[in-house]
Amino acid sequence: MLKLIPVILLIFFSFTGKAQINMVVKQGGFLFMEGKDSIFFYQRSPKDKNGEYSRCNYIHPLYGPDGSRITEDFPADHPHHRGIFWAWHQILINNKQVSDGWELKNFQQKVINFEFMLQKGVGSLNTTVEWRSPLWKNGEKAYMKEDTKITIHPKTGNYRRIDFEIRLKALTDRLSIGGSDDEKGYSGFSARLKLPADVTFSGEKGVIEPVNTATEAGNSMVVSGAFLNGEKQGGLAIWSDPSNPAPSTSWIIRKTASMQNAAFPGRNPVAIPFDQPLVLKYSLLVFQDCMSQKQIKKVMK
């Protein structure tokens, strides 16, 4: 049995007189707050529903600027969906599927290390997560090591910015990941939101109507509507960093009973070289009222 890396908790305080980003240890994970305002909960320990769909290493709830919960977990239509998550249907070794991280089949994650830092009012959660499968070395060894950095910025005006850097390192040769093996190609960074009836979507070129397959929309997708307590306008903008490998501007969006997905790599798997981690970067802008593409570009400079 592998020995766990000791947990490290580092907190650097900056005395600016303003409310600080802080981390509160709770059962199952960590709640991040700014002063008295909840930002999100990171699920560190495995969580399941009636013994099924065990998952960890994701965010739920994600809170709007007014304190509303804007994500869902274990939704009845897709119980494998979970808040803000990053997952792939096809996880292959030597072209043989060993896990489905999207639908949580033969897929085990374990957070083996975490570190929280606070510098100049900005909080950072760094995690190390092992990926395993009972179909690979009987689940006794990890085939992937994930190092993720989540950076939490103080609220500015009508929005809050949260950045993700996901670094996937193969621990064996001939490892690859891909989306659903169909024309949709669900894959990668996703948000399962509590969608209001008036939800709308917009990309860099304007309003977008959902279609069955992925659509090209630039590096940002804005999901707007009466998200805040079902009354007030607000929403979530997802930013796919231009440094991400192609396709970095492909999106799968849905108006009901599903998630919103920055689809990478899509249906066709991509290899993760043993000596070169795959790095993916995304940002969330959680806002109230509205957020324009011009404002997003200014924030993400």
Mean pLDDT of 129-145: 98
- Does residue 220 lie within any of the structural domains? yes
Name residue, tokens 């991400």: 244
pLDDT at 18: 66
- pLDDT of 7 above 60: no
Residue 113: which CATH number?
2.70.98
pLDDT at 9: 45
pLDDT at 230: 82
- pLDDT of 5 above 60: no
- Does residue 81 lie within any of the structural domains? yes
Mean pLDDT of 68-73: 97
| Other CB atoms within 10 Å distance of the CB of residue 181 | 13
- Does residue 10 lie within any of the structural domains? no
List C-alpha distances in Å: 25 to 7, 41, 212, 221, 252.
Answer: 13, 10, 40, 32, 34
- Condensed to tens digits (0 to 9), the pLDDT of residues 197-239 reads 999 999 999 999 999 999 999 999 999 999 998 889 999 999 9
pLDDT at 249: 97
- Does residue 5 lie within any of the structural domains? no
- Condensed to tens digits (0 to 9), the pLDDT of residues 77-133 reads 999 999 999 999 999 999 999 999 999 999 999 999 999 999 999 999 999 999 999
Pairwise CA distance, residues 82 & 72, whole Å: 6
Higher-confidence residue: 142 or 301? 142
List C-alpha distances in Å: 71 to 74, 120, 166, 286.
Answer: 10, 28, 20, 11
Band (261; pLDDT cuts 50, 70, 90): very high
- Does residue 13 lie within any of the structural domains? no
- Does residue 12 lie within any of the structural domains? no
Amino acid at 144: M
Pairwise CA distance, residues 153 & 57, whole Å: 20
- Does residue 2 lie within any of the structural domains? no
List C-alpha distances in Å: 213 to 180, 210, 236.
Answer: 11, 8, 21
Domain boundaries, position 56? 21-299
What is the model's pTM? Answer: 0.94
As for how many domains the chain has, the answer is 1
- pLDDT of 4 above 90: no
Band (13; pLDDT cuts 50, 70, 90): very low
**Share of residues in the chain with pLDDT > 70 (%):** 94
- Does residue 58 lie within any of the structural domains? yes
| Other CB atoms within 10 Å distance of the CB of residue 230 | 11
Q: Which pair of tokens denotes residue 67?
A: 């304190």
Mean pLDDT of 235-254: 97
pLDDT at 19: 77
- pLDDT of 11 above 50: no
Nearest CA among 65, 59, 48 for reference residue 84 = 59
For the chain, the helix, strand and coil percentages under 3-state DSSP, each to the nearest 5: 5, 50, 45
